[in-house]
Every structure is written in C-alpha cells, then in structure tokens.
C-alpha cells in the first residue's frame, strides 16, 4: 500500500516567497498548495516579538482558519551595526505601508557612515508547521551570512518572471562575489536562508507525513 502525497498549504500571500518555496519543496513527497487555492483570507497581525513567534502565529492562524496543515515562515534581515535591526520589522522598516525601495533607502541611510568591515548582516528564516487544530508540530531555522553593500545591485530589477526581493540586491555574499539577488536558484537553495530552513525541516516533517495524509482526510490507495 502507498499513500497519496501529503498536502501542505504554504501560509504566505507573498508571490515571490511562494515561488521560492514551491521550488524548494519540489523534491519533497508532498503536494503543495497556496492560500490562493482557497477563498480570500484576512492576513493575521504579526505582533510577535521574534521571527520565530511570528512564523508560529501565521502557521497556527491559517491552520485553524482553513483546517489544513500549514507551513509558514517569518524571515528577517539582521544587521550587526544596527543592533540586529530591522529584524521583525524587516518588511515594514520604513513604515507599515513602506515599499521595498523605501525600506532599502532607510537601511542605506542608517548605514551611510558605517565602513565596509562593519556592515556584516545575516538573513534569518524561521519555519513553523501547524496541524489543522493550530498546534505547532515542527519548527526549523536557516541563516545566510553576508554584508550590506553601499548601493543596490544593478541586477535587482524585475525579471521576466516578475521576481523582485526586498533587500537581496544589497546583501553581498563574500564567497560568491555577488549579491543574493544575483545568485542563481540552485545556489540559493543550498546557501540561502530559506533553503537552509527547508533542509532543516525535512527530517522533522517526514515522520509526520502519514498523519498529515490521515488528518487531511486523504484516503490510502494501492
């Protein structure tokens, strides 16, 4: 007997992030859905004090709303010279309605007087898996280390696929001599923060696959 693929719903309405996670999960024995596969859902207020707390908050919220297994994340940029900021405010660093360009401009302005050797930073991605009751069943974390450039990478512009990332064009990886925005998807899956979080989650989630199928009401088939 074999199981039908377990189904996970990605708890994000960010299309760029969704594309990346779909690619990262392509080799998993799961069927991936997104929030777009369901009626419109109001986003939760991310009032957690940490990225880890916000990932769990989103996973639990969407799980209880949809009664599905949800894999959600919260991702942030932490700059050493700014005491770890923007951190949980990464997506709204320049204000609740700030655009990616405004967030980048604020970051560069705050680092204007900081020399190259002190512009170290890291991206952090926390993942949380919630069951249909909203209980958090697994978590993982991935990091990517680099430094903040003095200006935006010339390649940080919409591509044919429409992809554009908030701070990736400012985040330099010394070992690759390029920014995260310039790194190809294959390399990003290995060294990127989301890729590493997904890698860390897989061995934790695999023992739950049978339960995911059963509690989602998906029958066994031969």
Structure confidence at residue 159 (pLDDT): 43
> Measured between alpha carbons, how far is 208 from 190 in angstroms, rounded to an integer?
24
Structure confidence at residue 218 (pLDDT): 42
Q: What are phi and psi of 15, to 5 degrees?
A: -65, -40
Examine the residue annotation and report whether 37 is marked as an active-site residue of this protein: no
Structure confidence at residue 189 (pLDDT): 87
Specify whether domain 6-215 bears CATH 3.30.930.10. no
Per-residue pLDDT of the chain (222 residues; tens, 9 = 90+): 345 678 999 999 888 888 899 999 988 888 999 999 999 999 998 999 999 999 999 999 999 999 999 999 999 999 999 999 999 999 999 999 899 999 999 999 999 999 999 999 999 999 999 999 999 999 999 999 999 999 886 655 544 333 445 899 999 998 888 999 898 888 888 899 999 999 999 999 989 988 988 876 443 333
> Measured between alpha carbons, how far is 72 from 60 in angstroms, rounded to an integer?
9
Structure confidence at residue 71 (pLDDT): 97
Structure confidence at residue 174 (pLDDT): 85
Q: CA-CA distances (angstroms) from residue 25 to 12, 21, 56, 195, 199?
A: 14, 6, 19, 9, 9
Helix 193-205 and helix 15-24, axial crossing angle in degrees, nearest 10: 50
Structure confidence at residue 156 (pLDDT): 54
Break the chain into its structural domains and give their ranges.
6-215
From the list 74, 131, 156, 168, the catalytic residue is 74
């Amino acid at each position: 007997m074999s199981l039908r693929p377990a189904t996970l719903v990605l708890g994000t309405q960010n299309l760029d992030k969704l594309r990346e996670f779909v690619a990262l999960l392509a080799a998993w024995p799961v069927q991936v859905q997104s929030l777009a596969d369901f009626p419109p859902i109001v986003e939760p207020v991310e009032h957690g004090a940490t990225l880890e707390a916000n990932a769990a908050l989103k996973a639990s919220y969407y799980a209880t709303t949809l009664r599905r297994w949800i894999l959600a994340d919260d991702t942030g940029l932490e700059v050493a010279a700014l005491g770890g900021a923007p951190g949980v405010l990464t997506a709204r660093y320049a204000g609740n309605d700030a655009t990616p360009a405004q967030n980048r401009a604020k970051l560069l302005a705050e680092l204007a007087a900081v020399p190259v050797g002190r512009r170290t930073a890291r991206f952090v991605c926390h993942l949380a898996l919630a069951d249909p009751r909203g209980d958090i069943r697994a978590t993982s974390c991935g990091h990517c280390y680099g430094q903040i450039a003095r200006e935006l990478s010339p390649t940080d512009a919409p591509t044919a696929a429409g992809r554009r990332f908030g701070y990736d064009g400012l985040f330099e990886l010394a070992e690759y001599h390029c920014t995260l925005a310039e790194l190809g998807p294959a390399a990003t899956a290995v060294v990127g923060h989301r890729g590493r979080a997904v890698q860390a989650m897989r061995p934790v989630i695999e023992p739950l696959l049978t339960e995911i199928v059963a509690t989602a009401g998906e029958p066994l088939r031969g």
